[in-house]
């Protein structure tokens, strides 16, 4: 019996991505999968149903409008956002679901996944190890978000980024400060520099200094080491925050464009720019807050909106990768393909829990919450 893999249509607000694109479908089918696509799954990414039907796959992809038909005998279900409860309830125990979950935001959903005995791999849990890089959807999506942040900022500014020499004199290049130098921040620095800005970068992890400098940016050194576990940042003490603010204020207030990307796993976004600092910024300056999904990095940010505070514009869009749905879907689909490749051998599902990547990415399996942090959160 072949393995049936189903791709769902996303139904959450602000979500335009799809978990599989036609060019990746042929590689998935080569693993021995029979692929079914929910009708219109690709439309928000500008992929019509016919493009899936035309994908070179054996057997050819099938499209279904009815959920019961689509999900009947499904072995693997792919989505970007967590599927709706009604959808999950149609799945047989043991079905494998791959999507982003973020258990801290979705405790009821985690309980449902547990109680329905679904095997859920939560894409945000893929470990940050070399072997898992091709499965790391957080990174693939963050890189696109960082790129977009620089472009969005440049279009919100009433000035240009590069130096320009004209008959009536020279225009000085814009100053761009990127705060938070993870995957998104480094891509934002690289993009702003390519557009001609003079760039500066800041992060609480001192090892980002070298990375920022390799992209032609100056590093703002605050003397505080905020390294936490697993290569991530930790929450800072009030004293550390004061020390940082004393150094940063000057850089914030000299910038034309600031892009913020700071995040701490499982916590609200740290506030890096205070109201008072915004009040002292240059007329016409722009802040692009890429941490809106976690509440934002600027005290004035209104997640999901662009606001004007005095002469400063603050844009805090939700779900930025979704705005680049074509490429975001393609990269996400490749991340899924590589993860699925870990547990399909000779056209059969074989979940090897000795594989570190599978063991760390699994959220629920056989009626249990397998991720320790999610288990504590949901079960106490």
The strand pairing partners of 198, in sequence order, are: 175
**Smallest distance from ligand NAD to CB 296, Å:** 13
CB 6 within 8 A of CB 78: yes
| Segment interacting with ligand NAD, rule: CB under 6 A, options 70-78, 174-182, 361-369, 371-379 | 174-182
Q: Taking CA 330 as the corner, what is the angle to CA 337 and CA 56, rounded to the nearest 5 degrees? A: 70
| Segment interacting with ligand NAD, rule: CB under 6 A, options 54-62, 87-95, 182-190, 372-380 | 182-190
Q: What is the DSSP string of 182-226?
A: SHHHHHHHHHHHHTT-EEEEE-SSTTHHHHHHHTTPEE---S---
Which of the residues 34, 45, 52, 136 is marked catalytic?
136
Is 361 near ligand NAD (CB under 6 A)? no
Is 138 near ligand NAD (CB under 6 A)? yes
**Smallest distance from ligand NAD to CB 321, Å:** 12
In the list 55, 57, 110, 204, the residue contacting ligand NAD (rule: CB under 6 A) is 204
Q: Which C-beta is closer to ligand NAD: that of 183 or that of 314?
A: 183
Alpha-carbon distance of 100 to 103, in angstroms, equals: 9
**Smallest distance from ligand NAD to CB 214, Å:** 13
The strand pairing partners of 34, in sequence order, are: 4
Question: 10 Å Cβ neighbour count for 111?
Answer: 14
Contacts of 52 (CB under 8 A, 6+ apart): 22, 25, 37, 41, 42, 61, 63
Q: Which C-beta is closer to ligand NAD: that of 124 or that of 326?
A: 124
CB 377 within 8 A of CB 107: yes
Which of the residues 133, 214, 242, 311 is marked catalytic?
133
| Segment interacting with ligand NAD, rule: CB under 6 A, options 83-91, 117-125, 176-184, 187-195 | 176-184
The contact mask relative to ligand NAD for 282-321 (x = CB under 6 A, - = no) is ----------------------------------------
50 has catalytic annotation:
no
Nearest to 96 by CA among 333, 332, 351: 351
In the list 22, 82, 149, 182, the residue contacting ligand NAD (rule: CB under 6 A) is 182
Alpha-carbon distance of 74 to 35, in angstroms, equals: 10
**Smallest distance from ligand NAD to CB 28, Å:** 23
Q: Which C-beta is closer to ligand NAD: that of 6 or that of 184?
A: 184
CB 80 within 8 A of CB 8: no
Is 357 near ligand NAD (CB under 6 A)? no
In the list 10, 15, 106, 136, the residue contacting ligand NAD (rule: CB under 6 A) is 136
Site for ligand NAD in 214-273 (CB under 6 A): 231-233, 236, 261-265, 270, 272
Phi first, then psi: give them for residue 368, nearest 5 degrees: -125, 150
Cβ burial of 232 (10 Å; 0-12, 13-18, 19+) is: middle
List residues binding ligand NAD (CB under 6 A): 128-130, 133, 136, 138-139, 142, 179-185, 203-205, 231-233, 236, 261-265, 270, 272
């Amino acid at each position: 019996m072949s393995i049936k893999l189903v791709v769902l249509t996303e139904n959450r607000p602000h979500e335009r991505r799809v978990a599989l694109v036609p060019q990746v479908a042929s590689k998935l089918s080569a693993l021995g999968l029979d692929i079914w696509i929910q009708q219109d799954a690709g439309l928000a990414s500008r992929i019509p149903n016919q493009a899936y039907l035309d994908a070179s796959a054996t057997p050819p992809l099938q499209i279904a409008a009815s959920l019961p038909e689509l999900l009947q005998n499904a072995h693997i279900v792919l989505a970007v956002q967590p599927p709706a409860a009604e959808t999950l309830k149609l799945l047989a125990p043991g079905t494998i679901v791959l999507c982003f979950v973020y258990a801290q935001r979705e405790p009821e959903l985690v309980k449902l996944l547990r109680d329905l005995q679904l095997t859920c791999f939560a894409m945000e849990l893929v470990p940050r190890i070399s072997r898992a890089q091709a499965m790391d959807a957080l990174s693939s999506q963050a890189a696109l978000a960082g790129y977009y942040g620089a472009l969005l900022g440049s279009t919100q500014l009433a000035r240009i980024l590069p130096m320009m020499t004209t008959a009536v004199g020279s225009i000085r290049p814009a100053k761009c400060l990127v705060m938070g130098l993870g995957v998104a921040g480094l891509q934002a620095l690289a993009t702003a520099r390519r557009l001609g800005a003079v760039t500066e970068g800041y992060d609480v992890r001192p090892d980002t200094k070298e990375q920022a400098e390799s992209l032609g940016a100056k590093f703002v050194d605050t003397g505080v080491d905020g390294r936490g576990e697993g290569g991530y940042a930790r929450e800072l003490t009030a004293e550390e925050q004061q020390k940082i603010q004393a150094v940063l204020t000057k850089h914030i207030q000299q910038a034309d464009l600031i892009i913020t990307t700071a995040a701490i796993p499982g916590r609200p976004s740290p506030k890096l720019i205070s109201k008072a600092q915004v009040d002292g910024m240059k007329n016409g300056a722009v802040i692009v807050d890429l941490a809106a999904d976690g509440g934002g990095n600027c005290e004035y940010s209104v997640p999901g909106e662009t606001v004007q505070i005095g002469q400063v514009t603050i844009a805090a869009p939700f779900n930025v990768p979704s705005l680049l749905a074509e490429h975001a879907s393609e990269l996400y689909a490749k991340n899924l393909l590589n993860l699925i490749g870990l547990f399909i051998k000779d056209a059969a599902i074989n979940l090897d829990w000795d594989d570190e990547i599978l063991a760390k990415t699994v959220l629920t399996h056989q009626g249990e919450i397998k991720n320790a942090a999610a288990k504590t959160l949901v079960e106490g």
